[in-house]
Amino acid sequence: MGFMYRLLDCKMDVKSAFYLFSPVAGQFKYNSPAMTQSLEIYRQLYRIRRFEETVLDNFPKGLFYGTTHTYLGQEANAVGVLTHLQEDDIVFSNHRCHGHFLAYGGEMRVLFAELMGKSTGVCGGRGGSQHLQWRNFYSNGVQGGILPVATGMALAEKRKESAAITIAFLGDGTLGEGVLYESLNLASLWDAPILFVVENNLIAQTTPIELSLAGSITARFSAFDIPVTELDTSDVQEISEQAKLLLDETRFQGGPRALVLHTLRFGPHSKGDDTRDPELVAAFKRERDPVAIHAPRLDPESRAAIEAEVDLEVEFAFEKAMSDPYPEISGQWAVVSGQPSADVDLQSPTSNIQSTVLKSINNALHQTLSHDDRVLVIGEDILDPYGGAFKVTQGLSDAFPEQVLTTPISEAGIVGVAAGMALRGLRPVVEIMFGDFVTLIADQVINHVAKFRWMYNDQVRVPLVIRTPMGGRRGYGPTHSQTLEKLFLGVPGLRVLAPTALGNPGELLAQAIADDDPMFFVENKLLYLQKLQDEKSLTDFELQELSSAETYAPTYSLSIRRAPAPELTILAYGYMAELAREAVRQLAYAFEIFAELVVPTQLSPFDNEDVVASARRTHKVLVVEEGTLTLGWGAEILARLFESMGSELMQARRVAAREFPVPASGPLEETVLPGIDDIILSAREMMEN
Ligand SMILES: Cc1ncc(C[n+]2csc(CCOP(=O)(O)OP(=O)(O)O)c2C)c(N)n1
């Protein structure tokens, strides 16, 4: 069957939609459906060409923000592959995304507007050239990071039993990123319906492939048992033909596929940064121009008509975008105070005071898994009978084998995959075995998970929870004992929660799972076996739940029963709140120093009000944390208190870990980590001053 006839099979919903709404639609008289396809393909190639030329021509005029990575010379790849898309299929693109976006069916005007930073842009001017989201099209500008996310999307669609498949684009330079290989492993292990398209243009920014790539490109995919096809052409027909076969295989047989396209970049990497010999680039243009290769297949009249129409479309789109307004930002970003999603049937996990923090969290996972099949628990070694390194997931995989997924040791890959699943409507809960390994997920959390909602102009949600045990005092040594949540405090779009033994930690987790925004849920290891505390069990204390912030994450206040009014505010979270409670008790009974202990369960974004209210009563604040002192949570809180209270805050101090890696030896660890005595000493010194 010839190429033209194969094309007849393809459904082009997105593009036909574009065509219907195009300002130049309906002006053609087509001879046959095959000819229609050929013309349409030329239109797509030429649209990308003209769009990108216009961008490069106008950049020096200062009309666009940031930078651009044009798709000149590579047009046949996007058009050849995406011509076979079905309506629900997903495309995840990279920094060089304009061609993919236009071939997906995106309008020129919104893309110009996005580059110009206008409110009518694809993402309202928030994303710019590299960060686009429209329908099932996504792009991000961090090399490699998109690949687990795209894999997760494919897996989500598979789980939902939709027919949608995912296509992810990457360049040859991105073959150097480790997270790609985590993604290929997961995609192959879990049979993700995804096509990886490598566009090998022989150069990454200014680094030629000889300096960046060892070994074979195709062998990289074969090593993971991913069938791979290689093409060295700029002919859209050849690419389209192969892509159709691979996409059909992915769609109907399942599992990942790879297409390696050897291609050539005609323009600079971004704007004025082409380090290649101009003669070489000129030769590329002479010999491998996708537009020139396809053009002779059209009769000259139709071709001229298409070109005239596209030229008009470019002009019209550019002018419209130029006259569009700029966006504005007003107020705070809403994720400061999260609320559980309305479409989640939130069953409050029961809290039993005989229970421990661990049982409470485990119980919440049981209940959410049983009530909502969108909830998945994903992590390393979490299956029964082992049930996770700290046993938090014990019993889950026996009860919900389909919803509990054990993974390879691939922290970034797991979080990326879960992010993709969350973007497509699932509610994954990822366990990172030790909090120390969150360093490996930083790119996923900071550049993907936390950014997606805002960067994509509020068009998406990422209901993802990342749980992890943090902290020392178990003798695990420098890489298994740290308190690293400060790395994620103040990341816009991410909420950091830390349960304590107070109240119902399981309920806090259930609410986090029901929330539409991403959560980082920090569980201190030493809290796991602590009994839950309530007013009855805390015989010495009055316990109050403060509720000035509009969030389900409570802040607690503890003060000694029937004691004089507190003269000092102590602020602590997680396991440090347990130590601080004992310190408050001893301060009262041994030294007649009365303190109010304030215990937040939401660390970031942090709502000051409850602490300020307490500090206005005591004028003295001591902040306790298990992480290192410098630039920590306590520094931020005290800065905020000074900003709100000025000289009304008479004394402020921090108790935190000393600036060492956490040692394994017990006595050394005790010296480095803050303890009850440190809190008492600081409190006494403050009161003596
Ligand atoms: C993680 C990361 N490192 C570096 C960059 C800067 N950067 C942007 S594009 C690029 C080259 C990418 O090369 P390749 O994957 O071959 O794609 P191409 O630009 O050739 O399309 C680099 C280094 C980035 N965006 N992300």
Looking up residue 617, the CATH number of its domain turns out to be 3.40.50.920
For residues 356 and 350, give the distance between their C-alpha atoms in angstroms, rounded to a whole number.
12
CB-defined site of ligand 1, < 6 Å: 69, 95-96, 141-143, 171-174, 201, 203-205, 269
Average pLDDT score over residue span 36-44 = 93
Could you tell me which of 503, 46, 20 has the C-alpha nearest to residue 295? Answer: 46
Could you tell me which of 309, 306, 312, 282 has the C-alpha nearest to residue 294? Answer: 306
Q: Is residue 21 pLDDT above 50, yes or no?
A: no
Q: Is residue 24 pLDDT above 60, yes or no?
A: no
Query: Who contacts 643 (Cβ-Cβ below 8 Å, separation ≥6)?
Result: none
Lowest mean pLDDT across 23-27, 379-383, 679-683 = 23-27
CA of 67 to the centre of ligand 1 (A): 13
CA of 173 to the centre of ligand 1 (A): 6
CATH number, domain of 453, equals 3.40.50.970
Domain with 649, as residue range(s), is 541-688
Lowest mean pLDDT across 8-12, 67-71, 224-228, 386-390 = 8-12
C-alpha 171 chain-centroid distance:
20
For residues 320 and 326, give the distance between their C-alpha atoms in angstroms, rounded to a whole number.
13
Average pLDDT score over residue span 442-462 = 97
Q: Ligand 1, atom 17: nearest CA belongs to which residue? A: 171
For the chain, give percent helix, strand, coil, nearest 5: 45, 15, 40
| Residue 334 located in a structural domain | no
pLDDT at residue 8, as a whole number = 30
Residue 335 pLDDT class (50, 70, 90 cuts): low
Question: Do 147 and 196 belong to one domain?
Answer: yes
For residues 44 and 82, give the distance between their C-alpha atoms in angstroms, rounded to a whole number.
10
Question: Do 154 and 227 belong to one domain?
Answer: yes
Q: Is residue 5 pLDDT above 70, yes or no?
A: no
Domain boundary (527, 556, 572) is at 527
Average pLDDT score over residue span 326-337 = 70
| Residue 143 located in a structural domain | yes
Ligand 1 atom closest to Cα of residue 142: 26
Q: 96 versus 333: which is more confidently predicted?
A: 96
Average pLDDT score over residue span 326-345 = 71
| Residue 474 located in a structural domain | yes
Ligand 1 atom closest to Cα of residue 130: 25
Lowest mean pLDDT across 23-32, 414-423, 493-502, 637-646 = 23-32
CA of 146 to the centre of ligand 1 (A): 12
Ligand 1 atom closest to Cα of residue 74: 21
Q: Is residue 98 pLDDT above 70, yes or no?
A: yes
Average pLDDT score over residue span 173-198 = 98
Tokens coding 354? 């005989």
Q: Is residue 37 pLDDT above 50, yes or no?
A: yes
Beta carbons of 333 and 458 less than 8 angstroms apart: no
pLDDT at residue 12, as a whole number = 34
Question: Do 165 and 66 belong to one domain?
Answer: yes
pLDDT at residue 341, as a whole number = 75
Percent of the chain with pLDDT over 70: 92
Question: Do 32 and 180 belong to one domain?
Answer: yes
pLDDT at residue 344, as a whole number = 75
Tokens coding 664? 């394994």
| Residue 472 located in a structural domain | yes
CA of 205 to the centre of ligand 1 (A): 6
Q: Ligand 1, atom 20: nearest CA belongs to which residue? A: 204
Residue 348 pLDDT class (50, 70, 90 cuts): low
Residue 551 pLDDT class (50, 70, 90 cuts): confident
Q: Is residue 22 pLDDT above 60, yes or no?
A: no
Q: What sign does the CA torsion over 545, 547, 550, 555 have? A: negative
User: Ligand 1 pocket: which of 71, 143, 147, 174 to mutate (most atoms <8 Å of CB)?
Assistant: 143
User: Ligand 1 pocket: which of 205, 269, 443 to mutate (most atoms <8 Å of CB)?
Assistant: 205
Ligand 1 atom closest to Cα of residue 265: 20
Question: Do 617 and 653 belong to one domain?
Answer: yes
For residues 489 and 496, give the distance between their C-alpha atoms in angstroms, rounded to a whole number.
7
User: Ligand 1 pocket: which of 70, 95, 220 to mutate (most atoms <8 Å of CB)?
Assistant: 95
| Residue 431 located in a structural domain | yes
Question: Do 467 and 605 belong to one domain?
Answer: no
pLDDT at residue 345, as a whole number = 72
User: Which pLDDT tens digit goes with each residue over 424-441?
Assistant: 999 999 999 999 999 999
Question: Do 517 and 545 belong to one domain?
Answer: no
Ligand 1 atom closest to Cα of residue 175: 15
CA of 69 to the centre of ligand 1 (A): 10
Q: Which residues pair with 653 in a beta bridge?
A: 622
Domain boundary (503, 527, 551) is at 527
pLDDT at residue 196, as a whole number = 98
Average pLDDT score over residue span 640-651 = 97
pTM of the predicted protein model: 0.94
Query: Who contacts 235 (Cβ-Cβ below 8 Å, separation ≥6)?
Result: 76, 290, 293, 294
Q: 544: part of which helix (H) or strand (E)?
A: strand 541-546
pLDDT at residue 334, as a whole number = 53
| Residue 675 located in a structural domain | yes
Average pLDDT score over residue span 116-131 = 98
For residues 6 and 15, give the distance between their C-alpha atoms in angstroms, rounded to a whole number.
17
CA of 279 to the centre of ligand 1 (A): 24
State the amino acid at position 300 in one-letter form: P
Ligand 1 atom closest to Cα of residue 145: 1
Average pLDDT score over residue span 459-486 = 97
Q: Is residue 619 pLDDT above 90, yes or no?
A: yes
CA of 143 to the centre of ligand 1 (A): 5
pLDDT at residue 233, as a whole number = 98
Domain count, the chain: 3
Question: Do 193 and 80 belong to one domain?
Answer: yes
Question: Do 635 and 553 belong to one domain?
Answer: yes
For residues 174 and 188, give the distance between their C-alpha atoms in angstroms, rounded to a whole number.
19
Q: Is residue 15 pLDDT above 90, yes or no?
A: no
Question: Do 552 and 488 belong to one domain?
Answer: no
| Residue 532 located in a structural domain | no
pLDDT at residue 7, as a whole number = 30
On average, the pLDDT of the chain sits at 93
Q: Ligand 1, atom 25: nearest CA belongs to which residue? A: 142
CA of 96 to the centre of ligand 1 (A): 9
Q: What is the dihedral of CA 672, 678, 679, 681, to 10 degrees?
A: -160
| Residue 338 located in a structural domain | no
User: Which pLDDT tens digit goes with each residue over 574-617?
Assistant: 999 999 999 999 999 999 999 999 999 999 999 989 999 999 99
For residues 687 and 651, give the distance between their C-alpha atoms in angstroms, rounded to a whole number.
9
Question: Do 546 and 467 belong to one domain?
Answer: no
User: Which pLDDT tens digit goes with each residue over 210-258?
Assistant: 999 999 999 999 999 999 999 999 999 999 999 999 999 999 999 999 9
Question: Do 278 and 215 belong to one domain?
Answer: yes
Interhelix angle 75-82/33-58, rounded to 10 degrees, is: 140
